[in-house]
Amino acid sequence: MLAQQLLNGLVVGGVYALFALGFTLVFGIHHLMNLAHGAVFMTGAFVALYSVLAGLPLWVSFVLAVVGCGLLSILIEITAFSRLRKSGEAEFGAIISTLGADLFIMSFAQKISGSDILRFPFETFPVQIFQFMGLRVTLLQLFMAGSAVVLMLVLTCYLFRTTLGTRIRSVSANERAAVLSGVNPHVVYYQTFFLSGALAGASGVLIGLAFNSIQFTMGEPFLLRGFVVIVLGGMGSIPGAMVGGLLLGMLQTLTAAYLPSGLTDAIIFSLLFVILLVRPYGLFGKETAGAMRAQR
Amino acid sequence: MSDFFVTYHHLFNVFLIGSGYGLSQWIVMRAGVFSVATAGLASLGAYTAAILTTKLGWPYPLSLLAGTLMGTLGGFLLAVPLARLRGVFQAIATLAFVQVVVAIGLYADSLTGGAVGLNAIPTLVGTKETLLALVVVVYLMSAVNATRLGRAFEAIRQDEAVASSLGVSVTFHQALAFALSGAIAGLFGGLEAFQTYTLFPNTFGFPLIIAALSYVVLGGRRSVTGPIIGTAILLILPEISRPLADYRNALYGLILMLVIAYMPRGIYDTAVLYLRRRRLAASSSQEARQ
Amino acid sequence: MSALVIENLSKHFGGVAAVSGVSMEAPPGRVTGLIGPNGAGKTTLINLITGVLTVSDGRIHFGGQDITQVSAHLVARSGVARTFQNIRLLAEASVIDNVMIGFYRNEKTSTLASLLGLPSARRETAALRSRANALLERFGMSQYANHEAGGLAYGHQRRVEMMRALASEPRLILLDEPVAGMNDVEAGELGEIFRGLARSGMSVLLIEHNIRFVTNICEYIYVLDSGRMIASGTPEQIVNDPAVITAYLGS
């Protein structure tokens, strides 16, 4: 029973990790937060759903959602970030302006869907259950875990094995130095936002398939959990987001399984609060990450 | 005229409460704290006041006072640990606080009514009382702005290092701002409770965070008038025409993006600045002529 | 006695020593100079004195009190004012508001009186405003009173910062490269002001990169290099000290 819960938690955690990776990637580069990330996630589920309803095969819909969300995310960088970067209050400004983008996208989705809960048609994803060593795994769960692993590997290779990735990391480490050595920061910004949006889109499709309950508000709880993951892992840390996502997934399934229902959120967000007080730079962040004020 | 009043009476009450939340958000930001705790603090005040009156039969002024104190205490208790954190991290921690309050409100249903809501709260407060509360708060906040505290807050908001190099304690003033924010949020939470019959935990969640922030960002972060103007515009716009109401959230979103990009000081503060610059330009060109 | 006395002060960042074993004094009535090449640890030393950075080792005394571990705003309360190397004004506030915040240290209004907007609080604000105006007059800045500080020319910003520091009526003022970017005439004028402050009984500690200016203004000079005090003495002694010449001209 415990093993089954842990397994389910790992699968959900993988999707949390995907979502949070995109969130933390932008923070790592800009030191600004993109609160429209939840809306991009929701858009992923919407695009995939409407593509499937229009008769496209699931894999095409998946690709459409991923690419579409990447592009949407670039649009967010252009409309909500680019003007702020020069102002002195970018940190605050970004939060406000991406909240604005979040509301705007959500309201657009609400116009399309009404406030209804939408569902993928039956058997969009083949229902198949495997049993081994007493554990029960659905084909969909395997697909989710597989996608999460593949996408994370692709991202890691991209960031750490290609020149483009090196540029992204150099801007993240020291933007001015990177620009001086000839890196065009705009190209880097667009790439990070595309990657970030694509990851959000992918996790949106996976969650849409898994819970089959798609609504224009579905991004909000994910955004809130995204905070938990990236703070737990360390703001801006890529391995941190991966580990943080898995931990949150397991914590959530375990508390839901063994504690009175309804306490899950209280526990998760108390945990977030406590981590910020005790170790604001998270598991993998550096103490110099600027979470705390200088004080004597 | 009386029809007009009946139609817009409710809207006016909503505006008064919204202005209160706006001012609660405003006062922490005035002191350079990036807290979004107003929603959670308002929840503490609203539930404290409502529970005391419905379950224990307290007279409503006493319950309002208790709600205000509860909010103050909540703000102060948040301020102590959060003093170590900065910027975005403060925002996330206060967001977590709001979520915890919502979650507990949903969970502790024997006390709060949970998701079904806390029902049958007597409607004891009207426009008069709410208006009086707002006037008092506006007076206090203007007094802060016009005297020593306002100067300290302004210095901290713009540059903490400069403020402490002049003897201003950042920790003390930010804790004070937190406590004031909690007091205002708690008071208006209580007032809302006695106007609405039912309280839901989710009323004081993410949407209220966005609303309170929007009021301040749109209106202005420096003068007391700013958040009130921001509240008025954001609440009244959707009432003016049906299409605007249909796209209320899109409108809010668009306004936030446009204001922060093109008018980052908000409508009122930008107008004040514009007038002052014009006056200065006029007086210096006059001097040049003489 | 409001002398600043530093004993054996050290500061490490990780394993790197930014300041090590520094001892010095800045008595009242004297313009004391602290010079050194870039990266010598001068600004670190100021940040240690003012409580912005924590001290790794050693003691700081001011006016007979040990302020080694005292937090920044309390150091300021005890009468230490400073200017910043890269001018730091409240850019969005008007010039007069920038000066008025300088009075904060000596304000009498209580928190409650300010919150309630009591007449006493408003009276003190009005009084400070007129004192700020007088200060602006003295520095020839009256016509800029209502201008935004962030929009002023560089030289004017320096003056605003100076006025703000003086408004707190400090017993010790730390000036971090106050004449950077000024021509000799402007620097000379400012130097006279510093001497005037010292004559009025203040301790003045002048941190400079520019040896010529310091030797003109200061009565006693300390030389810092790579975090260590390599020389101290009168201007004549300093300019003839071989260690100083090596540090400045390179070996």
Same domain, C93 and C66: no
* Among candidate residues C40, C39, C9, C36, the one with its CA nearest the CA of residue C223: C36
- Average pLDDT of the residues in A164-168: 78
User: CB C147 to CB B280 under 8 A?
Assistant: yes
The chain B residues in contact with chain A (CB within 8 A) are 34, 81, 83-89, 91-93, 95-97, 99-100, 102-104, 106-107, 114, 160, 206, 210, 213, 217, 247-250, 252-257, 259-261, 264
Closest CB to C121 among B147, B167, B284: B147
* CATH number, domain with residue C135: 3.40.50.300
Q: Are A99 and A85 in contact (CB under 8 A)?
A: no
Closest CB to B100 among A111, A270, A291: A270
Q: Which residues of C touch B148 (CB under 8 A)?
A: 104, 107, 109, 114, 121, 124-125
Q: Tell me the CA distances in angstroms from C42 to C11, C66, C166, C197, one per residue in order.
A: 12, 21, 22, 22
In-domain check, residue C14: yes
- Chains touching chain A at 3 or more Cβ pairs under 8 angstroms? B, C
User: CB C81 to CB B152 under 8 A?
Assistant: no
What residue numbers bound the domain in which B131 lies? 2-289
Confidence of residue C2 (pLDDT cuts 50, 70, 90): low
Give the Cα separation of A249 and A243 in Å (integer): 10
First to last CA, chain C: 41
Block means of pLDDT (10 residues each) for chain B, length 290 residues?
Answer: 69 94 97 95 97 94 97 96 88 95 94 91 91 97 96 94 95 96 98 94 93 93 94 86 78 90 90 88 73
Ranges of beta strands (E only) in A85-218 are: 129-132, 135-138
Confidence of residue C251 (pLDDT cuts 50, 70, 90): very low
Task: Report the number of distinct structural domains present in chain B.
Answer: 1
In-domain check, residue C124: yes
Give the Cα separation of B228 and B247 in Å (integer): 22
Q: Using CA coordinates, name the residue in chain A closest to B101.
A: A266
* Among candidate residues C78, C80, C79, C98, the one with its CA nearest the CA of residue C163: C98
**A163/A216: higher pLDDT:** A216
Confidence of residue A91 (pLDDT cuts 50, 70, 90): confident
Closest Cα in chain B, distance from residue C170 (Å): 10
As for the ipTM of the complex, it is 0.91
Q: Tell me the CA distances in angstroms from A239 to A8, A27, A66, A152, A156, one per residue in order.
A: 21, 14, 22, 10, 9
Q: Which residues of B touch C121 (CB under 8 A)?
A: 143, 147-148
Q: For chain A, what's the residue count?
A: 296
- Average pLDDT of the residues in C137-142: 91
- Average pLDDT of the residues in A229-243: 90
The amino acid sitting at C35 is I
Closest CB to B151 among C72, C100, C117: C100
Q: What is the pLDDT of residue B134?
A: 97
Confidence check: pLDDT of A296 > 60: no
User: CB A276 to CB B85 under 8 A?
Assistant: yes
Task: Report the number of distinct structural domains present in chain C.
Answer: 2
* CATH number, domain with residue B99: 1.10.3470
What residue numbers bound the domain in which C16 lies? 1-79+183-251
**C36/A185: higher pLDDT:** C36
Same domain, C26 and C49: yes
Q: C66 — contact with chain B (CB < 8 Å)?
A: no
Closest CB to B213 among A96, A231, A290: A96
pLDDT in tens, B129-170: 999 999 999 999 999 999 999 999 999 999 999 999 999 999
Q: What is the pLDDT of residue B88?
A: 87
Give the Cα separation of C184 and C195 in Å (integer): 16
pLDDT in tens, C86-99: 899 999 899 999 99
Q: A294 — contact with chain C (CB < 8 Å)?
A: yes
Confidence of residue C104 (pLDDT cuts 50, 70, 90): very high
Q: B270 — contact with chain C (CB < 8 Å)?
A: no
Q: Which residues of C touch A296 (CB under 8 A)?
A: 51-54, 69, 71-72
Residues whose CB falls within 8 Å of the CB of residue C236, separated by 6 or more in sequence, listed in order: none
User: CB B165 to CB C76 under 8 A?
Assistant: yes
Closest CB to C114 among B139, B143, B164: B143
Q: What is the pLDDT of residue A156?
A: 86
At CB < 8 A and 24+ separation, what contacts does A81-86 make?
Answer: A81/A30, A81/A32, A81/A34, A81/A189, A82/A189, A83/B261, A84/A32, A84/B260, A84/B261, A85/A30
Same domain, C52 and C68: yes
pLDDT in tens, A26-73: 888 778 899 999 999 999 999 999 999 999 999 999 999 999 999 999
Q: Which residues of C touch A294 (CB under 8 A)?
A: 52-53
**Residue C204: is it exposed, middle or buried by C-beta count within 10 angstroms (0-12/13-18/19+)?**
buried
Q: CB neighbours (10 Å) of residue A175?
A: 17
Q: Which residues of A touch C54 (CB under 8 A)?
A: 296
Closest CB to B154 among C74, C90, C147: C90
First to last CA, chain B: 54
Task: State the average pLDDT for chain A.
Answer: 88
User: CB B87 to CB A84 under 8 A?
Assistant: no
User: CB A97 to CB B261 under 8 A?
Assistant: yes
- Average pLDDT of the residues in A267-293: 82
In-domain check, residue C177: no
User: CB C90 to CB B161 under 8 A?
Assistant: no
pLDDT in tens, C182-222: 888 888 888 999 999 999 999 999 998 888 889 889 999 99
Map residue C58 onto helix, strand or coil: strand
Same domain, C75 and C188: yes
**A92/C104: higher pLDDT:** C104
